[in-house]
Amino acid sequence: MTTSLQLYRYSFTAGAFAAGGSFFGRAPSQLSELPALTSGFAPTAAATYYLELLFLRAVPIILMVICNVLNWRYFLKALQCTEHTLTATVLTAATNYMLSFILGALVYREEITLMSTVGAIFIITGLWFLCKAQEEQKLSAKHKKSH
């Protein structure tokens, strides 16, 4: 199991950065709805405007861009390290979806529905089948080489 985690670490990292990009991309609209931030935290209207522009818009967008660049960097590394590009793609996407699901529920208070829970179960089950098939394929290849 540890070798699988090391082999696919770039896929998981790319998926985590993709989820981070989505998280920070949604942050400006969510932050602007917070009552503590919309009531004004500076003495003048101009100062409030520039602070809001900086902290509620610019910083999350910069973090989103950084996360997306790192997503592509680690995804390309994942493609180089795995034998099958499908494995890297599926693991990256699944990590992205699962982390986005968790972050959305915990941070943005998105509703967890039966449909989203079933979807998460399907993703995890699909990953299990994919990893199991990869291991069986490796065992079969080793068996063929030994005979």
Express each pLDDT in 2-32 by its tens digit.
566 677 899 999 999 999 999 999 888 776 6
pLDDT for the residue 106: 94
* 102 vs 109: CA distance, rounded Å: 10
Task: Show the tokens assigned to 23.
Answer: 């998280």
Q: Is the pLDDT of residue 36 over 70?
A: no
How many other β-carbons are positioned within 10 Å of the β-carbon of residue 135? 12
Q: Where are the domains of the chain?
A: 2-146
Listed range (44-48, 70-74, 96-100) with the worst mean pLDDT: 44-48
User: Is residue 85 exposed (0-12), middle (13-18) or buried (19+ Cβ within 10 Å)?
Assistant: exposed
CA 72-78-81 angle, to 5 degrees, is 145
In contact, 25 and 64? CB cutoff 8 Å:
yes
Residues 6+ apart with CB under 8 A from 69: none
pLDDT average, residue stretch 42-70 = 80
DSSP letter assigned to residue 108: S
Confidence of residue 111 (pLDDT cuts 50, 70, 90): very high
pLDDT greater at residue 17 or residue 108: 17
Q: Say what the pLDDT of residue 93 is.
A: 95
Closest CA relative to residue 64, chosen from 13, 99, 21: 21
- Of 20, 23, 55, residue with least CA distance to 36: 55
